[in-house]
Structure 1
Amino acid sequence: MSTRAPKPKLPKPEWLKIKLQTDGHYAELKDMMRSKTLHTVCEEARCPNIYECWANRTATFMILGDICTRACRFCAVKTGLPTELDLQEPERVAEAAEQMGLRHCVVTSVARDDLKDGGASIFAATIKAIRARLPLCSVEVLIPDFLGNEESLRIVMDAKPDILNHNIETVERLSDRVRAKAKYKRSIELLRRAKEMAPSIPTKSSIMLGVGEEYEEIIASMDDLRAVDVNILTLGQYLQPSPNHLAVARYVHPDEFKQLKEDGLARGFSHVESGPMVRSSYHAHEQVKSAAGAASGA
């Protein structure tokens, strides 16, 4: 009986080889986060853009703990059954944002399917707490799909974030393979409802490339997002966080990312961030300005 050899891992191209550097400022901010028992996606995902984003007074907080009730094949966040809900977390996030002097704050979370509202009330409380301490700081929320619960989405929209972000992650054909529980059409519907509830609040989504999608499928996803009036799109390269996660199917060349940016802008997105190292919150502070300008017709 013969056994098939495992498929060799693709070597990383030169454009993805970035040396991470830390300095005293980074260490100081990291210590401050730990002292408040907070998590940032910037650190958890070891994002290569962390120094640039923090220098631009932008950071992404991960609320509702660090244990996710889902097990998406692309994500390194721990999976399991969360044991508690920290009602003081919104205030600690706001305190940290104030100490960092943030100009743009992104708030995301693990999926909390164990909670009746999916954690929507904590998102809303966090938005309000940040606004109370930093009135000039724009607040973006990157939310899960809340299993399609419309009331949960309304709780978040009523708190009036500056940007409502929900990632479709990949093209429709690959969605069930890449994501856990989340459904492509449900994500599109969430983005449609968000714009229906608050037409003036810009919406945003993200697609990671390199998991087996075809170019035409990326374009089709862009069209699906524009059909529900999504304003901002980010496109980045998927990187395998561990051997147990989904393998990289291909590394997308920077020239293709450049072409996709042009395709996106031609379809009417107010801002498209597209490149190998782009993540959902990359240059988020600029996206607020672009979306506001588009809304005012500037």
Structure 2
Amino acid sequence: MSSTIVPDVIIIGAMKAGTTSLYEYMAGHSQIGVSAEKEVDFFVSGKNWKRGIGWYHRQFSPGFSVYAEASPNYTKRELFPSVPERIAKIIPDCKFIYLVRDPIKRAESHYRHAVLSGSDVPSVAGLSGSPAMQHLLATSSYAAQLAPYLARFPPQNFLVLRFEDLVHEPRQLLSTVAAFLGVRDEWQQPGTIAANSSDTLARLPLWVFAARETRLASMLKRLLPRPAFTFLKTLISTGGKVRHAEPFTDSLRAEMATLLQEDQARFQEILKAVDATRNSSGQQPDTP
């Protein structure tokens, strides 16, 4: 199927590290066609893989130079295995952008997201040793999440970016993205980090989270322009009762840092290898 549209690049995560913001920046670029919904999850077997390549193709509109999607579930290998294998089968020359963040801050933001969206997670006092804690740690284990991708795709196909740079130096980061994708370095004026903030989540009624996987929600995302959908989300959250999530304790942060120490060391080695490959090919190095 030579006319089938599939992404040239996939933002594979990490969750709560700026994937929504980068997706929105890409959506505003004249040469980049993004999927109609941000989190397509096509390569997750329990979600949309069964819908087939034709369904995936229809998530993109024709007429662009480069196509992209963003699904943070692609780097939750303990929950959703074999994603890199499926991508390699369908898009053997795919490029990947992996956004990372201080792993403890990422885990705390992930936990806050779970609490505010009504997920069944333990209190902070009950997190240590729990399955929820293991999931938070696994998603912050950047080396472990990248390993199966690097086993199937060459290092030069990866761009690793920092959430902190997206927040504080978006223009410079976007220039790096443009060079990686081979598109013009012309972006809409960088604005506020996007719409999936804790403040918004804290005010959204819980029924919104229950409804977001329905066909109606999917249809609204496809039919409404992005600004209109964001406005609708903001409108629903206005005046809602504010929910709260406990902050992590210092002792929990220290425990998580210890448990992630080995993976962080491996991740730094991965970055060195990716940078060496990019330097040899004349591309800009990664910076985490």
Q: Which has the higher contact order (CA 8 A, sep 6+)?
A: 2
TM-score by length of 1: 0.35
Higher strand share: 1
